[in-house]
Amino acid sequence: IQAGETDSDGISIGANALALNSGTIRDAAGNNATLTHISVADNSSYMVDTTAPKLISISPANGSDNVSVVSTTGFEFGFNEEINSSTILTNSNTTSCDGYSATIQTSPDNFSTNTNCLQLGTPTTSDNMNFSIIRINLINSLCPTFYSSTCGSNLMPGTNYQIKVTSQVKDLAGNALNGGTDNLSNFISKARPYVSSTSPDNGSNDVRDNETIVLHFSNAMTSASLDNTTVTISPSLTGGLSVNYDNASDNLSISAVSGFDNTTYTITIADNTTYGADEKIFLSPDYSFTFTSISGLVDIDGNVYSTVVIGDQHWMAENLKVTKYRNGDNITNITNNSLWGSDTSGAYGVYDNNASNLDSYGRLYNWYAVDNSSGRYICPEGWHVPSTDEYDDLEDEVGNGGAAGGKLKEPGIEYWQSPNTGADNETSSGFNARGNGYRDRRTGGYRSIKQHSYTWTSSTVSNKGYYRYQSYNNNLSGSGTTYKTHGFSVRCLED
């Protein structure tokens, strides 16, 4: 009825007064509404509400990703009018999804089971006639094994969650949410961190004794959680590990304080290592990185060389065996003797093309392969083919009159023809030159194994290259020049 009208029960609305205990009236849209109340004072305004409330906001917002796994603020729901707080019910005592007893629910499996909802706290509200804000914190998640024992109010990492606000939520007039339709929203929690890349590769078998291992994480880690208590190595090291996490790059750098030994190690990062300033998400399970360390010089092919310090110089203590330049280009392997002398691009061979000679004497290279000016470089990074002046310094360091050759040769007659003059254990410098012989430029044949050691330098004169040599029957170390198409051994010197 409207002002001045009388309904079928004889109830009328005057201009200034309303006396109504029960009955049916219409709202401004002409809809019938049932209104029950005790009394309304004279000259009071009265509104009849038949409009369903609406959910106008959810935090985290629908479609959010990378949501913090630590629910410090919980969930927040905004409605377009004041909500009857008695209809905001959560499963605060159980993880069961029950749509009749809980009107706000959160599930990690799209509500596919009835026992997999998050346990939510008691709602708090902030209301006025125009809106209602409902805040709900998590009490406990499903506590997967990679959380701490006091799992607390954490979300599971990398999980797609669904939030449901059911139609049992009602406004003060008893109108059901959205006219009786449930509301669904989705968000994805932050993914569990993991080691996304390593340098060198996990499982490497050629890690240098002084090399730094770098592990890159998928997420920013908590630097304080990465130290010598959470990053460990087995077997243990003398001096232990140096552990450093860089917040800018998300890289963890690990090195041995006193160097790695020649053995296989496993580095483990404990699963209680966390990431983020406020996150409590852990690696799961323990992360491990296994590698084998070698001490010595390693070339691009993975060959390992012993080295020796003589005076102020750091030398290879055996002949080069590499088949590639430092830039990755292959060095030509010429096995056909007739083709050997015509190569001017860089080539190698093994004495008599017999692989058994490789380990003992290394490879024989023409001078074009050792040319430092080529930009390809035959020695490992940080090393180079020495000049004739640098060989002079070596001989000056070990020389005793003219006896430098004896001190540069490896003692004994396993790699030298007897008598191997001047070479003995007491005076050996550790350079360990062996009688590798040479490959002849004219015939491509191999000559003088165990009799002479010929080794290229990087120095040249005219169209020839300088070389050094030692012989089995004297203790001298000589120098000469020859055509660049001969095949000699190579030693590298640290830069």
**Predicted confidence (pLDDT) at residue 33 exceeds the cutoff of 80:** no
State whether residue 457 is helix, strand or coil: strand
Do 437 and 361 touch, CB atoms closer than 8 A?
yes
Give the model's confidence band at 275: pLDDT under 50 very low, under 70 low, under 90 confident, else very high: low
Residue 313 confidence (pLDDT):
94
Residue 126 confidence (pLDDT):
79
Residue 238 confidence (pLDDT):
86
Give tens-digit pLDDT for 40-86: 555 555 556 778 899 988 888 999 988 877 655 678 899 988 888 88
Residue 11 confidence (pLDDT):
46
Residues 6+ apart with CB under 8 A from 191: 66, 157, 158, 218, 219
Give tens-digit pLDDT for 416-429: 999 999 999 888 99
Q: Tell me which of 21 and 302 has the higher pLDDT.
A: 302
Q: Tell me which of 384 and 295 has the higher pLDDT.
A: 384
**Predicted confidence (pLDDT) at residue 376 exceeds the cutoff of 70:** yes
Mean per-residue pLDDT for 26-33? 56
Nearest Cα to 274, choosing from 108, 139, 160, 146?
Answer: 146
Give the model's confidence band at 14: pLDDT under 50 very low, under 70 low, under 90 confident, else very high: very low
Q: Considering the chain, what percentage of its residues have pLDDT values greater than 90?
A: 46
β-bridge partners, 119: 140
* Cα gap 118→163, rounded to integer Å: 10
Mean per-residue pLDDT for 425-452? 96
* Cα gap 188→161, rounded to integer Å: 6
* Cα gap 467→365, rounded to integer Å: 12
* Cα gap 476→453, rounded to integer Å: 12
Mean per-residue pLDDT for 263-290? 73
Mean pLDDT of the residues in the chain: 83
Residue 179 confidence (pLDDT):
66
State whether residue 401 is helix, strand or coil: coil
462, two tokens: 């005219």
Give tens-digit pLDDT for 124-159: 887 665 677 878 777 544 433 333 333 345 677 778
**Predicted confidence (pLDDT) at residue 396 exceeds the cutoff of 90:** yes
Give the model's confidence band at 172: pLDDT under 50 very low, under 70 low, under 90 confident, else very high: confident
* Cα gap 461→466, rounded to integer Å: 7
Q: Considering the chain, what percentage of its residues have pLDDT values greater than 70?
A: 79
Q: Tell me which of 221 and 451 has the higher pLDDT.
A: 451
Residue 20 confidence (pLDDT):
47
Query: 467-492 burial, b for 16+ CB within 10 Å, e for fewer?
Result: bbbbbbeebbbbeebbebbbbbbbbb
CA angle in degrees (0–180, nearest 5) for 67-69-70: 115
Residue 378 confidence (pLDDT):
97
Residues 6+ apart with CB under 8 A from 310: 394, 397, 398, 429, 430, 431
Task: Find tokens 């909802």 and name the residue.
Answer: 117
Do 410 and 430 touch, CB atoms closer than 8 A?
no
β pairing state of 446-447 and 438-439: antiparallel
Do 284 and 145 touch, CB atoms closer than 8 A?
yes
β pairing state of 75-79 and 55-59: antiparallel
Residue 16 confidence (pLDDT):
41
Q: Which domains does the chain have, with CATH numbers?
A: 1-50 (no CATH), 55-189 (2.60.40.1220), 195-295 (2.60.40.1220), 304-494 (no CATH)
Nearest Cα to 455, choosing from 401, 395, 406, 386?
Answer: 386
Residue 475 confidence (pLDDT):
93
Residue 112 confidence (pLDDT):
76
Q: Between the ranges 183-197, 242-256, 431-445, where is the mean pLDDT highest?
A: 431-445
Q: Tell me which of 411 and 148 has the higher pLDDT.
A: 411
Q: Decide: residue 442, CB within 10 A, 0-12 exposed, 13-18 middle, 19+ buried.
A: exposed
* Cα gap 479→393, rounded to integer Å: 13
Mean per-residue pLDDT for 175-199? 84
Mean per-residue pLDDT for 397-409? 86
β-bridge partners, 231: 269
* Cα gap 443→299, rounded to integer Å: 30
**Predicted confidence (pLDDT) at residue 19 exceeds the cutoff of 50:** no
Mean per-residue pLDDT for 369-394? 93
**Predicted confidence (pLDDT) at residue 353 exceeds the cutoff of 60:** yes
Q: Tell me which of 438 and 60 has the higher pLDDT.
A: 438
Query: 346-382 burial, b for 16+ CB within 10 Å, e for fewer?
Result: bbbbbbeeeeebeebbbbbbbbbbbbeeeebbbbbee
Do 42 and 165 touch, CB atoms closer than 8 A?
no
Least confident of 30-39, 342-351, 362-371, 390-399: 30-39
